[in-house]
């Protein structure tokens, strides 16, 4: 088996994979022992069978084949169980990782959305201030043209401020 890196030993899904690999390895070792015992037993039976008649040898051979088949079936069963456990653990890991990734992604999207909202507010505020300034300048120019020199500057300024306040109350700037 290849040498594991430190990162592979730390990550939980690698530990689960290692555990699954160990289960498979143990199942394989057990089956090899079972098969070795079966072969050993078969050899013993064959040696004893040489003493008996041909019919008895055939019967022993059939028993040996049945033992080997049983051993192979047992090995296959244990291997399938180990693979099933390993596959289920892997599915759980993938589902957990997918869910965690989804949460992280959604959190990032929400953070960016909040930042954009705040930036939009600031932009709106700056834009309204700019429009206010330009509007104030234009109103002042118009007022000077209309009123001219007839009113004192203080009274003209008061009239302009009142006009701007009235425009705000009438929500003129909310549409911007």
**Digitized pLDDT (tens) for each residue of the chain, 176 residues in all:** 455 565 555 555 567 777 888 888 888 888 888 888 888 888 887 776 565 666 666 777 888 888 888 888 888 888 888 888 888 888 898 899 989 989 998 998 999 999 999 999 999 888 888 888 887 777 777 766 666 666 677 877 887 788 888 877 777 666 55
Instruction: Count up the domains in the chain and report the number.
Output: 1
For residue 132, give both structure tokens.
């206010």
Give domain status of residue 175, yes or no: no
pTM reported for the whole predicted model: 0.35
Q: Which of 98, 96, 89, 95 is nearest to 18 (CA)?
A: 89
CB neighbours of 22 closer than 8 A, spacing ≥ 6? Answer: none
CA 127 to centroid of chain Cα atoms: 41
Give domain status of residue 174, yes or no: no
Note down the domain range covering 120: 8-169
CA dist., res. 72 & res. 53, Å (int): 29
């Amino acid at each position: 088996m290849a040498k594991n890196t430190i990162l592979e030993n730390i990550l939980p899904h690698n530990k689960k994979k290692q555990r699954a690999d160990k289960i498979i390895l143990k199942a394989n070792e057990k089956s090899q022992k079972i098969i070795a015992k079966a072969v050993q037993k078969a050899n013993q039976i064959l040696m004893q069978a040489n003493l008996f008649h041909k019919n008895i040898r055939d019967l022993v051979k059939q028993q040996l084949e049945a033992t080997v088949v049983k051993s192979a079936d047992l090995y296959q069963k244990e291997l399938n169980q180990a693979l099933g456990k390993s596959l289920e653990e892997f599915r759980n890991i993938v589902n957990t990782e997918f869910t965690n990734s989804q949460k992280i992604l959604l959190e990032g999207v929400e953070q960016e959305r909040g930042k954009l909202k705040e930036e939009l507010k600031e932009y709106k505020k700056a834009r309204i201030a700019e429009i206010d300034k330009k509007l104030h300048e234009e109103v002042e120019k118009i007022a000077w043209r209309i009123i001219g020199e007839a009113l004192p500057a203080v009274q003209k300024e008061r009239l302009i401020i009142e006009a701007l306040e009235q425009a705000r109350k009438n929500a003129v700037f909310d549409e911007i």
